Amino acid sequence: MGYSSLPSGHSITVFCTLTVLLFAFVPNKFYTKIAWTTLIILLGSALSLTRVGVGAHHPIDVFTGGILGYISGLSGIFISVKYKAWTWINHKKYYPIFILLFLICSVILITKINDKNLSIFYFALASLLFSLYKIIYVYIKK
């Protein structure tokens, strides 16, 4: 065919993101932990298997991508815990930089909405404006 579909990049992304969410919001109780883990695995599998459904990948591509995504998520978690590289984000002196970046991204999204008018841009703008509100609120409160 002339192309390789192994591994699925979508599956890597889905499982990397869901692995981080799995460990970030894991409950304390044993049975809810089992339910949470099962829910995350089923969600990741359902999202990844859509790539097979549309004919973009074979099941082995999705499975390999899922494993690589899980390993990538765990690696990121372990590196973050060991080296504490992101502690600077919580300092108040960097908040204006984030506020400026969020405003720039909002303007870019508004121009994309005017140009293409896709609904996904509205969702991205809503989440960006909510994040902007929260960071300004925390900045003023501190």
Q: What is the pLDDT of residues 39-49, one digit of tens each?
A: 999 999 998 88
**Number of CB atoms found within 10 A of residue 97's CB:** 9
Q: What is the pLDDT of residue 2?
A: 42
CB 109, CB 128: distance < 8 Å: yes
Structural domain harbouring 36: 9-83
Q: Is the pLDDT of residue 122 over 80?
A: yes
The structural domain count of the chain equals 2
Query: Residue 79 domain-assigned?
Result: yes
User: Which whole number is the average pLDDT over 110-129?
Assistant: 92
pLDDT at 72 over 80: yes
**How far, in Å, CA of 106 to CA of 113, rounded?**
10
Q: Do 67 and 92 fall within a single domain?
A: no
Mean pLDDT of 9-22: 92
One domain, residues 38 and 55: yes
* pLDDT at residue 114 greater than cutoff 90: yes
Looking at the whole model, is its pTM more than 0.85? no
Q: What gap in Å lies between CA 87 and CA 138, rounded to an integer?
A: 16
